[in-house]
Structure 1
């Protein structure tokens, strides 16, 4: 489905108002930047923060931060921006027939006619190629991890067609960086990184279930599955379970990583991370209203802060 964009000047309906893409980007590039969600930076944060968790935890585990970690920190940021853009472009290509039937997404570049499928595919390839160039600066084990991450990225857009749990596939893709950054620092994959990855997946189930409630009615009409539709009125119960899983798994990851070699103070400080994150998620849950789209989107955006909270305490623990 293609035609006129339903919003002024091609703006995407759920983009941040006054964002830099709509106000400052060259007009010819705007459809492609919108494909990359550059006008909606929250997704880059949600992809990046598990990377920084993994790096901080790896540094805590071996108590040997080094100058190369600064590049891992920076490379993860650049790579997250590029791969989030490539992944979102891929998502829009595969969902182009669905997006035109959903109120929130029909203003996206492909269904609104701002960009062609061929143009989007070329844009996706350019972003992925640049991200691969960054990946090649890491060690061989991290390069292999990065290549493996393409599988959940490729599958995710189709998940809502065959499972009620597409958020699991999003979690697999969005939290891969927790393991990749650990491996980029240490050269190997260890159990603390796997536990941290699992904590990130539980967190993704929390925030993306909230997000999916925005589209629950449209999704029901067109037959698209989601945890929001699956849980229905029991969503608060499930969201509370995801909070418990997030906190428990992150605490396990920290204990496995820090306890063998770290000081008691470092362990205590780092364990504040999941506790504080859990309280922030609980505070969100108190404001959850599945029938208020504006509130749902605001809660989803708050998860940038949710992910920054544990990072702060992990970094503080490095100096303990």
Structure 2
């Protein structure tokens, strides 16, 4: 076998380098790499953009909602709510203050009355909870245990109501309300925002926390995205969002087109969409994005 000449070997190496450079030039600049939060992200200028999360119940289960609110009010008054928030990475800045679910629902607020689910769960000593595996609100750890802010609050509330057992059912975020309405679970404790549209479908408890949005991009922010408006102004930019999340409405209101929004089932898929180059950015609440990025780093 003839030996490869030095000149041929050098030519082959140079050819490989040129191909690599061309390949990089054809890359959209967002594929691969570490996803980081945009520190100077501009909150969208939309009324009510700061979200207020709460447990939700079927429209006919007002008695259960009212009983939940009674115990939640005690947690707020005693300071135990802040303790539960802090245990899950929140701070005093995320307390809901005096905001009420009635004000947040607006004309969609449902007075209602009655419902027999309260009596059922008290007699059984068990409540079935729907959650969407969204850190830090409600998720399942490596041992299959329910964790998160919404789970901590719900556990404290139901325990004070004399209900010791909480059975969790994991579904995609967009399936929470349909699953609740279909009777698959008794309550949603997924850190879901209270919005007028949702108030037409379910009855919410009083808010447990308040929080803003966040944006994640590949380190270096190759498309220079600092707001939802930046995405709307760049038709080539795509953003990953969980199916059914409030952020979809926020994006649409500032002019982001539907074909720019990559809808995914959960947080992990949203992060993967950016890492794989299918999206240039990902958005969710600031606590959620911080939590999933920390998990991705193995912290």
Per the normalisation by structure 2, the TM-score is: 0.25
Higher helix content, 1 or 2: 1
TM-score (norm 1): 0.24
Rg bigger for which structure? 2
